[in-house]
């Protein structure tokens, strides 16, 4: 236990640990064995892999050895997912941090396949619905905004155990970018709860579902994906994501949400007042206010 305590130093009130990878970081909760949230810096001009990528086969996932001690891995692994019927849903998608030198891209992609960077997701939600949002963010990064900081995470208030895994029902993303010198942000919240029946009736492997997904992105994909009913319904005020997660992003003034919300804007002590430089990201992580993330469990 002493070793676990030393590995998880600088943890928040719920035992979370910030794990740094290549171009992204994950705040991880050892009690839930799942991530609280992730944040990735995306650089579109040097991310050709994100624009044209091959159809995926089977993936190899890895435990993060920094939070392994003896038989206690503090994270779900292959044995947990193997017969669960659930997909390993990336928070930071495999191509999002794939920029920089060829070696950096290779390492970054590999880093996204740590179990600390995924949550259990219903295959249809993972391969279709969540994928729409992932592709939208990638297309904006490559063809429009160039530099993006993307936050992603689960919401635990409706999480339930399915086949031995703690499964969050709702997931969010916050896309932060610069437009004409001004900081802008968009928030999205998606639920996989409507697809629970799909999990029970699903036949065939996940790869069959993914055959309908076209991996190559174009500039036209930005508007095409944004008009998907799943994305139109998912865009919400960032203050609502703050309300549900306990995180404070300091982005209410930058929020580009055009609709109405019953949630009032929140103030914080240390606002994120501009797009972060890549080397500053890790320091900025420490300015968040930590709330109670596991409400309702």
Binding positions for Mg(2+): 126
Distance separating the N- and C-terminal Cα atoms of the chain: 24
Tally of CB atoms within 10 A around 295: 14
Two tokens, residue 192: 């996989």
Catalytic residue among 23, 53, 83, 90: 90
Q: Are 49 and 142 in contact (CB under 8 A)?
A: no
Name the token pair of 125. Answer: 């939600």
How far is 60 from 78, CA to CA, in rounded Å?
9
Annotated binding site: 126
DSSP, residue by residue, 109-164:
HHHTTBGGGEEEE-HHIIIIIHHHHHHHHHHHIIIIISEEEEEEEEE-TT-EEETT
Q: Does the active-site annotation cover 90?
A: yes
Residues 6+ apart with CB under 8 A from 220: none
- Strand locations in the chain, DSSP E? 16-20, 24-29, 34-43, 87-90, 118-121, 147-155, 160-162, 165-167, 170-179, 182-191, 235-236
Catalytic residues, by residue number, are: 90
């Amino acid at each position: 236990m002493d070793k676990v305590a030393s590995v998880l130093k600088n943890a928040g009130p719920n035992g979370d640990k910030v794990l740094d990878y290549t171009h992204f970081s994950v705040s991880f909760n050892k009690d839930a064995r799942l991530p609280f949230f992730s944040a990735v810096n995306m650089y579109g001009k040097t991310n050709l892999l994100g624009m044209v990528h091959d159809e995926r086969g089977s993936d190899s996932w890895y435990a993060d050895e920094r939070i392994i001690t003896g038989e206690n891995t503090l994270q779900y692994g292959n044995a947990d997912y193997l017969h669960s019927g659930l997909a390993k849903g990336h928070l930071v998608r495999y191509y999002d941090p794939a920029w920089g030198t060829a070696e950096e891209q290779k390492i970054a992609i590999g880093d996204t396949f740590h179990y600390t960077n995924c949550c259990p997701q219903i295959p249809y939600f993972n391969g279709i619905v969540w994928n729409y949002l992932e592709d939208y963010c990638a297309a904006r990064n490559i063809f429009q905004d160039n530099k993006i900081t993307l936050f992603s995470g689960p919401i635990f208030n409706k999480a339930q155990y399915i086949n031995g895994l703690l499964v969050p029902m709702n997931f969010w993303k916050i896309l932060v970018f610069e437009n004409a010198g001004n900081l802008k942000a968009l928030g999205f919240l998606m639920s996989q709860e409507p697809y629970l029946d799909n999990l029970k009736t699903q036949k065939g492997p996940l790869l069959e579902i993914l055959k309908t997904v076209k991996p190559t992105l174009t500039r036209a994909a930005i508007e095409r994906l944004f008009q998907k009913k799943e994305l139109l319904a998912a865009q919400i005020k960032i203050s609502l994501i703050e309300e549900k997660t306990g995180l404070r992003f300091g982005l209410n003034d930058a929020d580009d949400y055009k609709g109405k919300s019953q949630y009032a804007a929140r103030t914080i002590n240390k606002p994120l007042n501009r797009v972060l430089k890549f080397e500053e990201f890790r320091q900025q992580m420490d300015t968040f206010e930590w709330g109670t993330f596991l409400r309702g469990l």
